[in-house]
Structure 1
């Protein structure tokens, strides 16, 4: 049986101590090149209503960063009509939350596509949530553990951060559910996988995840809260269905109708009517 909790590619040791490298601060994301962020945002198809062909034509119209996005410039893009220019300007403003996440991701050299999952799960303030807890990248997107480690290092955090362990456990359970279809995993196997991913105290991390409700214990197995609740809802529905179903009476004949039964009855009725008229 394949391992449902395989070890990801080794993320490697943490960077050298702060005294041996330039310190990273929470303001490092401001160093991301605005043009690079804008390009990544467009290429990842995160701008609602903007296709790849039109995105490739934006630089020719002088649109290479957020400050260039307005109805006037958009209207000069080949193939963009006035009404569409207004729609694109509106949709760009509406995607401001996603754009803010892309700024953080590009600064950490991570794919901009992860921003979609972050805003879907965390809402329009996803960037603020990720600044406060970078490990949420693991629970809100399909990022790998090594990518989340890199993102956290960009925020000045390392693998010994106490929030990393619960996030890794959540990630492992979510990955097993989506890849293997197993919504609950044996406690021992999941804790061993977490240890392989560099979680120093997996049991303590599990206790923290159980306390905040993101993971639920079901006997000797653990599951993500959202999957456990979904399965319970299905089980409750089946129980109600069984409770309200009317059982067949013993010995009662089953009435089976052939597809042509109705047509036969109609023919008989027509014959009776014809005979009466005659």
Structure 2
């Protein structure tokens, strides 16, 4: 018997939401979005459901650095504001605010593995080969997004084109 306030139900709904997000192309969800969606699904304590899911190893928490100035302070997976040992905000927190992402382990590890492989490819490409003029000529003869893609290829050792309607 698993009532609405059962911890197992909260974990199951959390995992289900993360699986649905993955099917839609999102390997992780921001913590506030996940807890809000859990509340919409009738989970009585969304924060506890996420914490239980993390504690059981059914999902992982990640911190993604925000580049925007004036962004919110770093938050831990438990939702507490990040502070240093003396109880004040640390300099690192002020310099590099982060957003907390929650994701299923299998997708997170696959994404990390892909990122590592792409980094190896980027580092193995020659830096300059003197063909910039040829690339620019090809870009000038192309139209629309094809020209942008050619310029990206010319300027970088690796271009990952994920497609879309314009491709």
Q: Return the alpha-carbon distance in structure 2 between the equivalents of residues 157 and 195 of structure 1.
A: 17
CA distance in 1, matches of 2:39, 2:133: 62
* Counterpart-to-counterpart distance in 2, 1:228 and 1:167: 19
Structure 2 counterpart of 1:159: 4
Runs of 4+ displaced beyond 6 Å: 251-254
Please give the alpha-carbon distance, in whole angstroms, between the structure 1 residues aligned to 2:16 and 2:131: 54
Q: Which has the higher helix share?
A: 1
Residue deviations 1:202-224 (CA, integer Å, cap 9, x gap): 11111111122221122222111
Question: Is 1:193 the counterpart of 2:73 in the alignment?
Answer: no
Q: What is the TM-score normalised by the length of structure 1?
A: 0.32
Runs of 5+ consecutive residues of structure 2 not aligned to the other structure: 64-99, 135-167
Residues 154-210 of structure 1 show CA distances to partners (whole Å, capped at 9, x for unaligned) of xx33222211111111101111221x2112112111111111222111111111111
In the alignment, the residues of structure 1 paired with residue 7 and residue 57 of structure 2 have an alpha-carbon distance, to the nearest angstrom, of 16
Which residue number in structure 2 is paired with residue 228 of structure 1?
108
* Equivalent runs, 1:14-33 vs 2, <5 Å: none
Distance 2:52 2:113 in 1: 25
Distance 2:56 2:118 in 1: 29
Q: Distance in 2 between matches of 1:251 and 1:188?
A: 47
1:218 aligns with 2:98: no
**Residue matched to 1:208:** 52
Name the CA distance, whole Å, in 2 between partners of 1:200 and 1:190: 14
Q: If the length of structure 2 is used for normalisation, what is the TM-score?
A: 0.52
Alpha-carbon distance between aligned partners in 2 of 1:202 and 1:167, rounded to the nearest angstrom: 12
CA distance in 1, matches of 2:26, 2:132: 42
Unaligned runs of 5+ in 1: 1-155, 255-278
Q: 1:175 to 1:253 in 2, by over 3 A?
A: closer
Say what the alpha-carbon RMSD is for the aligned residues.
2.1
Larger Rg: 1
